[in-house]
Amino acid sequence: MATSFSSPLLHLLRPSPFSASLRPTRITPERRIFTPFAGPSDNPRKEEVVVVGAGIAGLATALSLHRVGVRSVVLEQGDSLRTGGTSLTLFKNGWRALDDIGVGDELRSQFLQIQGLVMRSEDGRELRSFSFKEEAPGQEVRAVERRVLLETLASRLPPNTISFSSRLKYIERQGSEGTLLELDDGSRVLAKLVIACDGVHSPVAKWMGFSEPNYVGHCAFRGLGLYPDGQPFKPTVNYIYGRGMRAGFVPVSSTKVYWFICFNSPSPGPRTSDPYVLKQEALDLVRSWPQELLDVMQKTPEDVVIKTPLADRWLWPGFSPPAWANGVVVVGDAWHPMTPNLGQGACCALEDAVVLGSKLRGVIGGRSELIDQALSDYTQERWARVFPLTIRANLVGSLLQWENPVVCSFRNNIMIPKLVRLGPFLEHTNFECELLEPAGSP
């Protein structure tokens, strides 16, 4: 039994500089029952496919595999689904992927379809408004509660798929046998294929040689305003631009409104654990901004305000390891963390899940060369999609976080009112991943 971590083994559980600022709300949905892996003294349990992480990428991947007839086991370190992050805006490419894995309509019925976009300056002046119908026909935008998204994905998995309180702490290649995974409690599993969906600070990605994501110089506050008697807003995304700071809010449902603030900060800053302090810090940033934003923030319970330093990883060819090696493959933020400036991180994780499921259809349990080919195809196809998007999201963020007053004036008086065109700006959402052919179809 391995107890120390030296090359080529890796200690997986280094605390992340970012993790303490995330204070996810824990929910306890209908628990998936799982028989823990064999104990330390036994032979490792053998599995064909193990997914590490029950976030959006992990659950969507497990569901995608299930749709094509492949059974997987999902290891999640938390004792329940994690819901930090309040809400996410999903665009039409994300909805297409959700349709592919069979949960699109169930989610659609719970969240408002957003009709357009309004941009304002920090003094409340309207700079521009857009209608999706007129300027980006066919676009589908909804802000979705992360909790509901995760619960919905989990609810479609076969019983016993997710193993909670299963924190991966050690990983080692075992030649052609597969990859040995050891959990915190000492139980072990030998997996033919490991799909790492363990998020932005993925321990598995580090083990594969990926660098830590880079902090990009701005942080985000997020929250969810609650309106038990009904929220008063039109179904539009509202952006407000200041100097070195921007904010936004978007109705999620008839009673909930998601908001965010993105602000420049030379470092991720001290970890703040007091929820009251976090909310006050967020409010202090925008005291003189439009009252509507302040109202949404005031209506937010403290425990649903979170602060996240934003980070990404650029997958330079030749410098970055491949997404797949020796039966281990990375998916979602574990591979391509990107800044949220295009609202594409989760959308791309969903696309990854569908593409990987489609490539692995019919090859699991068969010849290893076929699995390798499937993983290689996944890597190539997805790299071409996510690498440019990561860079684009970063550049858009840098432009929007301008501090220089002359440049901000140009942005507010010329760029936004006269130059921005919504259709071309949302071009990246036109991506259509291949349709998943359900198991049993020819």
Give the residues lining the site for ligand FAD (CB under 6 A).
12, 52-58, 75-78, 82, 85, 88-90, 94, 167-168, 197-200, 203, 220, 222, 308, 332-334, 340, 343-347, 349
Is residue 264 within a helix (H) or strand (E), and if so which, with residue range?
strand 256-264
The Cα angle at residue 330 between residues 43 and 50, in degrees rounded to 5: 30
Q: Which residues pair with 308 in a beta bridge?
A: 220
**CB-based burial, 97-121: b 16+ in 10 Å, e otherwise:** bbbbbbbbeebbeebbebebbbbbb
How many other CB atoms are there within 10 angstroms of residue 238's CB atom?
A: 23
Find tokens 């915190």 and name the residue: 184
Three-state SS at 250: strand
Between 122 and 333, name the residue whose CB sits nearer to ligand FAD.
Answer: 333
Which of 89, 109, 105, 99 has the alpha carbon at shortest distance from 64?
99
Between 327 and 345, name the residue whose CB sits nearer to ligand FAD.
Answer: 345
Contacts of 4 (CB under 8 A, 6+ apart): none
Question: Nearest to ligand FAD by Cβ — which residue?
Answer: 55
Between 260 and 402, name the residue whose CB sits nearer to ligand FAD.
Answer: 260
**Smallest gap from residue 335 Cβ to ligand FAD (A):** 8
**Smallest gap from residue 230 Cβ to ligand FAD (A):** 24
Look up residue 409 and give its two tokens. 């004036």
Between 26 and 125, name the residue whose CB sits nearer to ligand FAD.
Answer: 26
How many other CB atoms are there within 10 angstroms of residue 270's CB atom?
A: 8
**Smallest gap from residue 368 Cβ to ligand FAD (A):** 25
Between 57 and 68, name the residue whose CB sits nearer to ligand FAD.
Answer: 57
Question: How far apart, in Å, are the Cα atoms of 299 and each of 96, 105, 258?
Answer: 32, 29, 11
**Smallest gap from residue 332 Cβ to ligand FAD (A):** 3
Between 101 and 363, name the residue whose CB sits nearer to ligand FAD.
Answer: 101
Say how far residue 433 (Cα) sits from the centre of its chain. 18
**Smallest gap from residue 441 Cβ to ligand FAD (A):** 28
**Smallest gap from residue 356 Cβ to ligand FAD (A):** 12
Question: How far apart, in Å, are the Cα atoms of 132 and each of 92, 141, 241, 425?
Answer: 12, 9, 20, 12
How many other CB atoms are there within 10 angstroms of residue 25's CB atom?
A: 16
**Smallest gap from residue 442 Cβ to ligand FAD (A):** 32
**Smallest gap from residue 80 Cβ to ligand FAD (A):** 10
Three-state SS at 404: coil
Between 88 and 136, name the residue whose CB sits nearer to ligand FAD.
Answer: 88
Question: How far apart, in Å, are the Cα atoms of 54 and each of 4, 72, 95, 103, 195?
Answer: 26, 12, 19, 16, 11
Between 320 and 409, name the residue whose CB sits nearer to ligand FAD.
Answer: 320
